[in-house]
Amino acid sequence: MRRYHAAVWDEPLVMELGREGRRGQIFDAEGDATSLIPESMRRATPPELPELSEPDVLRHYLHLSQETLGMMGISLFGTCTMKYNPRLGEALAARPELAELHPYQPEDTLQGVLAAIHGLDEILRGLSGMDGFVFQAGGGAHASYTFAAVARAYHAARGQLEQRDEVITTIQAHPCNAATAAAAGFKVVTLMLGPDGYAEVDALRAAVSGRTAALMVNNPDDMGIYNPHIDEWVRIVHDAGGICFYDHANFNGVMGRIRARDLGFDACMYMLHKTFGVPKGGGGPAVGAFGCTGELARFLPAPVVVRDGERFRLDYDRPDSIGKVREFWGNVQQVVKAYLWSRAMGAEGIREAADLSVLANNYMDRRILEIPGITRSNAQLDVPRLEMTRFSLGELQRETGIGILDVAGRLADYGIDGPWESHEPWIVPEPITPEAGEMWSKEDLDYWIDALAQVCREAREDPELVRSAPHNQVVHKLADVPLDDPGYWATTWRAYQRKRAQVTA
């Protein structure tokens, strides 16, 4: 194993740094401007912000960046498709021709960016079979919400919204499907899984009715299991009068092989910050690309980029549109990056990426199952998983007392950032879900597996070493702290100071 230790700077909070009078930015103001503010609305006391020089601030945040492992090591965070984010996209997005654009500029000054958006729209149409995409949603969950809003508009247009108030999903669909359906005003019907790892057709038949507004599901799921009856599911929901949304969060393994529209779906979603090479930024700015059939297109959030010969324009004149799910057109710079990634890959490259991600997962699968104490979900399902596999450390925990959270902490000592466990509810004990993707080399994957094997060995030989991990990190593991206790939590420095003063008083 490599020798590794995280950078430790003991970096104080920025609020604890600085000295009175230091400056990090100067603005040209001509004396006191407060006379321009009505007296009642003037700020009485200055904000208690730190006072630092420009290099002090730079070095502080560079230290914090160094105290962040992320993808500097090997991160196979499942369901999030950790892949290369081409730096060409970053460099281009920093140019003023993209960074210094305003969405209300005249259309003739935005032709380049509109062309890129339209270009990606066409590529996603090719990959999905849908008739058009919009990029307004700021993430996958937001695209899921966009669908729920489209479903409302669709049924309202048919005079059936009062009656159709249920959305069907499965317990293995992402929590955001259920949550956004509920936030959009629907009741949620959740199907449990059958013996083969997906919900059974009969369970769906029993669930649909005249109240069914929509189906919202992923496929394959987060365990790498593909529901082979998905086309029948769509037919059943359509026959009941509902519409169907394909949450394509797990598209990486099936890119170029299946298309949402061919399976009968009315709408689908791709995460550009996962599958299409856009960086994750620790949680955005992200893009949920939402696509649908021509029948649903009139409900899309406005504006929609359309082509008029050689020119592109923004179509705001959409009377049946759901309106907006956020301001402007979406995280445009990320859409441009996804367009460039797609062009860099091409049809052949995209298919190759899917092949490699499934091949790599099965390679990992084979090696991981050789580690004592690790099993695979749905053990009786003897087929290769797609781009991820859900494993369980349940046996290891029974034998050693060491569970997934301990293992995750110890993996960080080997330069591997926390792996994905599973969404709630955990349907296997002590879950772990690596996803290899197409970026990581075989050497990287072998290192990751070797580290996992090493930690599992340590769990048997020296469980305390694992339980008390990490040891080579920026700080140690969190104490068992009451983060849901109002006397304890502190999301700001001012709250922290007040609460700790009360404790010590």
Partner 1 sequence: MTAHPYMANSTPELKQEMLDAIGAGSIEELFAQIPASHRLQGELDLPPALTSEVELSRHARELLARNESCEDNLSFLGAGCWQHHVPAVCDEVVRRSEFVTPVWGTPASDYGRNQAWFEFCSQLGELLALDFVGLPVYSWGCAAGHAVRMASRINGRREVLVPALLDPERLAVIRTYCEPRQMGSHLELVAFEELADLEAKLSDRTAAVYFENPTSLGVIETRAAEIVRLAHDAGAEVVAGVDPISLGVLAPPGDWGADIAVGTIQPLGVHMSCGGGVGGFIASRDEERYAREYPTLNISLCDTVVPGERGFGVALFHQTSYGLREEGNDWTGNSTYLWAIAAATYMSLLGPRGFEEVGSSILQRSHYAASLLAEIPGVSVRSPDFFKEFVVSFDGVTVEEVNRGLRGHRIFGGKDLSRDFPALGQSALYCVTEVHSRGDIERLATALTEVLS
Span 415-454, contacts to partner 1 by CB under 8 A = 417-418, 423-424, 438-442, 444
Nearest CB to partner 1, comparing residues 398 and 482: 482
Q: How far is CA 304 from CA 287, 299, 333, in A?
A: 15, 11, 16
Looking at the Cβ atoms of 398 and 475, the one nearer to partner 1 is 475
Nearer to partner 1 by Cβ, of 142 and 390: the residue is 142
The residues that bridge with 388 in the sheet, in sequence order, are: 435
The length of the chain is 505
Residue from 1, 192, 206, 344 in contact with partner 1 (CB under 8 A): 344
Q: Which is nearer to partner 1, 298 or 399 (CB)?
A: 298
Place of tokens 């008739």: 131
- Tell me which stretch binds partner 1 (CB under 8 A): 60-68, 239-247, 292-300, 456-464: 60-68
Among 84-92, 202-210, 234-242, 292-300, the segment contacting partner 1 (CB under 8 A): 84-92
Per CB under 8 A, the list member of 363, 369, 395, 450 interacting with partner 1 is 363
Among 195, 380, 486, 504, binds partner 1 (CB under 8 A): 486
Shortest reach from residue 354's CB to partner 1, in Å: 9
**Under rule CB under 8 A, which residues in 134-163 are in contact with partner 1?**
138-142, 144-145, 149, 152-153, 156, 161-162
Q: Is 281 in the site for partner 1 (CB under 8 A)?
A: yes
Choose, by CB under 8 A, the member of 80, 374, 402, 455 that binds partner 1: 80
Asked if 503 touches partner 1 (CB under 8 A), the answer is: no
Listing DSSP states for 161-229 in one string gives: TTT--EEEEETTS-HHHHHHHHHTT-EEEEEPP-TTSS--HHHHHHH-STTEEEEEEESS-TTS---TT
Collect all residues with Cβ–Cβ distance below 8 Å to 424 and sequence separation of at least 6.
Answer: 175
Question: Is the separation of the CB atoms in 173 and 218 below 8 Å?
Answer: yes
Choose between 70 and 399: whose C-beta lies nearer to partner 1.
70
In this complex, which beta carbon is closest to partner 1, that of residue 331 or of residue 400?
331
Residue pair 419/234 in contact (Cβ under 8 Å)? The answer is no
Beta strands 431-432 and 391-392 are antiparallel
Return the residues of window 115-134 that contact partner 1 according to CB under 8 A. Answer: 115-116, 119, 122-123, 126-127
- How many CB atoms within 10 Å of residue 206? 11
At position 167, the amino acid (one-letter code) is V
Q: Which of 1, 37, 192, 206 binds partner 1 (CB under 8 A)?
A: 37
- Residues 379-418, one symbol each (x = binds partner 1 by CB under 8 A, - = not), give ----xxxx---------------------xx--x----xx
Q: Which amino acid is at 382?
A: D
- Residue carrying structure tokens 């549109």: 321
Q: Which of 367, 369, 426, 429 binds partner 1 (CB under 8 A)?
A: 367
Per CB under 8 A, contacts with partner 1 among 302-341 are 322-336, 340
Q: Indicate whether 463 belongs to the interface with partner 1 (CB under 8 A).
A: no
CA 65 vs. chain centroid, Å, equals: 21
Interacting residues of 230 by C-beta distance below 8 A, sequence separation 6+: 217, 219, 263
Residue with tokens 């009941």: 240
Task: For residue 266, give the nearest of 235, 245, 286, 280 by alpha carbon.
Answer: 245
Is 435 strand, coil or helix? strand
Write down the least CB distance from residue 314 to partner 1, Å.
11
Pick the closer one to partner 1 by CB: 279 or 373: 279
Pull the structure tokens for residue 412. Answer: 């960080």
Candidate list 285, 298, 318, 454; residue touching partner 1; CB under 8 A: 285
Region near partner 1 per CB under 8 A, out of 240-248, 389-397, 457-465, 485-493: 485-493
Interface of this chain with partner 1, residues 222 to 251, rule: CB under 8 A: 225-226, 228, 230-231
How far apart CA 17 and CA 52 sit, in angstroms, is: 7
Residues contacting residue 347 through CB under 8 Å, at least 6 positions apart: 126, 256
Considering only the C-alpha atoms of the chain, give the largest distance between any 2 of them, rounded to a whole number of Å.
76
Residue 476 Cβ, how far from partner 1 at the closest point, in Å? Answer: 4
Residues 6+ apart with CB under 8 A from 243: 151, 154, 213, 214, 215, 237, 266, 267, 296
Question: CB of 166 within 8 A of CB of 211?
Answer: yes
Instruction: Select from 454, 468, 450 the least CA-distant residue to 405.
Output: 468
- Cβ 214 to partner 1, closest distance in Å? 14
In the complex with partner 1, the residue whose CB is nearer, 6 or 204, is: 6
How big is the site for partner 1, counted in residues (CB under 8 A)? 214
**Residue 498 makes contact with partner 1 by CB under 8 A:** yes
User: Considering the rule CB under 8 A, would residue 347 count as an interface residue with partner 1?
Assistant: yes
